[in-house]
């Protein structure tokens, strides 16, 4: 069941993230996108009785495949690896808080918080890397 949920949620997330990018712009990467992804994965897995960590990890593997296909440079390897590690971490955070508190909503909040923090960190790192490559500093307006 976990694999089916992960595949379905990956498809749903792909479609919703494209919609968010079109209507919200790049800010959706650090706002609506992670919230919807985590809610979809966690809630469907929980209510269907599937293992949260497995759903999140398989979702990460699917996203890694997409990242691999989208990036023809060596960055595809890094992005793919980080997709698997990141989504596994989000699932572990959700599952861990759920186990500790017996609260689905706190578990979901933990996964969302981890995903948002992760995406903000990645965006900042990429912005600084781009600025350094162009001779400009990302922290200097």
Mean pLDDT of 18-38: 95
Token reading at 122: 């990645």
Model confidence pLDDT, tens digit, residues 49-68: 999 999 999 999 999 998 88
Which of the four pLDDT bands, split at 50, 70 and 90, describes residue 36? very high
Model confidence pLDDT, tens digit, residues 109-140: 999 999 999 999 988 988 887 777 766 555 55
pLDDT at 134: 64
Residue from 50, 64, 67 nearest 4 by CA: 50
Global pTM value? 0.87
Mean pLDDT of 73-87: 83
What is the 3-state composition of the chain as percent helix, strand, coil, each rounded to the nearest 5? 85, 0, 15
Q: For the chain, first and last CA: distance in Å?
A: 49
């Amino acid at each position: 069941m976990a694999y089916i949920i992960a595949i379905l949620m990956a498809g749903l997330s792909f479609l919703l993230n494209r919609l968010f990018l079109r209507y919200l712009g790049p800010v959706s990467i650090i706002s609506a996108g992670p919230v919807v992804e985590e809610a979809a994965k966690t809630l469907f897995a929980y209510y269907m009785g599937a293992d949260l960590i497995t759903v999140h990890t398989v979702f990460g593997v699917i996203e890694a495949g997409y990242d691999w296909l989208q990036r023809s440079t060596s960055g595809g390897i890094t992005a793919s690896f980080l997709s698997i590690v990141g989504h596994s971490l989000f699932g572990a955070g959700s599952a861990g808080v759920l186990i500790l508190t017996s609260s689905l909503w706190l578990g979901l909040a933990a996964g969302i918080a981890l995903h948002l923090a992760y995406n903000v960190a990645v965006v900042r790192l990429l912005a600084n890397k781009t600025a350094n490559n162009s001779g400009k500093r990302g922290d200097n307006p």
